[in-house]
């Protein structure tokens, strides 16, 4: 199976290893990630201003690229996924916005929102299957107690993202279980870590992050996994005293390809 792949800025700079874990793991699972040619930053955050088109054009071009190849578009960063999914939804539901975008992109041809967008986690669940992943595990994580941290952008707004129940998600816990580990469920797994206010209000960001970390630990977590590079950075920066691991790294470890990421 081939899919169009949008890695995003962070995974091509500060977090290249996390990008490589995604590639190596997909190969084991029978999925080829075909990186979109000449992709640009998704825009970083989705703005609800209907007359703001410029920062959304890179997402539109990525969506159109995948659509022209008749492939789904897969993202691995929750922030990129949020921006691209919301932009696609706007193209499907807001005719005035779609008209303005397509007039900007007249030379490239029109786009109507036909591309299917998957987060890498959704790809694992919906296109590969957790049962298949379980069969591919060579380094079982049995005995490890791992807490999933969802953060803000992966699940919200639910009417657009539609990945999982925004209040009681299971997708990351199901992944953890498929790798042989015990999934720790705790109250603050959906709360904001403060990443977006870490420069403006570092004390508030640290307070949020520490509350999440302590809540996971008090429920028995030995490790936290996340699907957002900014969340990972912020939790670590704010003093996490248990490992904070990107989910693709955990997946690569269980599938036995982590040691090959620098090959």
Q: Digits of tens for pLDDT over the chain (263 positions)?
A: 999 999 999 878 877 888 999 999 999 999 999 999 999 999 888 988 888 899 999 999 999 999 999 999 999 999 999 999 999 999 999 999 999 999 999 888 899 999 999 999 999 999 999 999 999 999 999 999 999 999 999 999 999 999 999 999 999 999 999 999 999 999 999 999 998 788 788 899 999 999 999 999 999 999 999 999 889 999 999 888 999 999 999 999 999 999 754 44
pTM: 0.95
What is the C-alpha to C-alpha distance for residues 205 and 191, in angstroms, rounded to an integer?
Answer: 12
Contact (CB, 8 A) for 74 and 120: yes
Question: For 241, which DSSP code?
Answer: S
Burial of 259 (0-12, 13-18, 19+ CB in 10 A): exposed
Give the pLDDT of residue 261: 47
Q: Edge to edge, what strands does the sheet with 2-6 contain?
A: 32-35, 2-6, 73-75, 117-119
Contact (CB, 8 A) for 80 and 4: no
Burial of 102 (0-12, 13-18, 19+ CB in 10 A): middle
- 146 backbone φψ class: left, alpha, beta (φ>0; ψ -120 to 50): beta
Provide the Cα torsion 48, 53, 54, 60; round to 10°. Answer: 100
What is the C-alpha to C-alpha distance for residues 149 and 172, in angstroms, rounded to an integer?
Answer: 8
Q: Give the residue among 41, 42, 50, 66 at the shortest CA–CA distance from 99.
A: 50
Domains annotated on the chain, with CATH: 2-121 (1.20.1050.140), 130-260 (3.40.50.11810)
**Residue keyed to tokens 């169009």:** 4
Give the pLDDT of residue 180: 98
What is the C-alpha to C-alpha distance for residues 246 and 22, in angstroms, rounded to an integer?
Answer: 10
Helix (H) or strand (E) holding 57: helix 57-68
Give the pLDDT of residue 51: 83
């Amino acid at each position: 199976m081939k899919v169009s792949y949008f890695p995003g800025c962070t995974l091509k700079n500060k977090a290249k290893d996390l990008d490589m874990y995604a590639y190596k793991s997909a190969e084991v699972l029978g999925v080829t990630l075909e990186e979109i040619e000449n992709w640009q930053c998704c825009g970083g955050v989705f703005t609800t201003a209907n007359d703001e088109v410029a920062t959304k054009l890179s997402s539109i071009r990525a969506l159109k690229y995948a659509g022209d190849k008749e492939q789904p578009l897969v993202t691995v960063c929750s922030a990129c996924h949020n921006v691209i999914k919301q932009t696609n939804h706007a193209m499907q539901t807001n005719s005035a916005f779609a008209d303005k975008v397509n007039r900007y992109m007249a030379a490239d041809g029109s786009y109507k929102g036909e591309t299917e967008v998957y987060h890498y986690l959704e790809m694992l669940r919906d296109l590969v299957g957790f049962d298949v992943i379980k069969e591919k595990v060579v380094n079982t994580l049995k005995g490890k107690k791992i807490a999933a941290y969802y953060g803000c952008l992966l699940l919200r707004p639910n009417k657009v993202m539609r990945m999982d129940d925004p209040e009681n998600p299971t997708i990351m816990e199901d992944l953890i279980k498929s790798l042989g580990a015990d999934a720790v469920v705790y109250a603050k797994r959906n709360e904001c870590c403060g990443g977006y206010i870490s420069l403006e209000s570092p004390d508030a960001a640290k307070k949020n992050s520490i509350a999440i970390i302590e809540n996971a630990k008090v429920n028995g977590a030995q490790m936290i996994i996340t699907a957002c590079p900014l969340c990972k950075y912020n939790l670590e920066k704010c003093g996490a005293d248990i490992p904070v691991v990107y989910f693709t790294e955990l997946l690569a470890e269980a599938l036995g390809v982590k040691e090959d990421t620098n090959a």
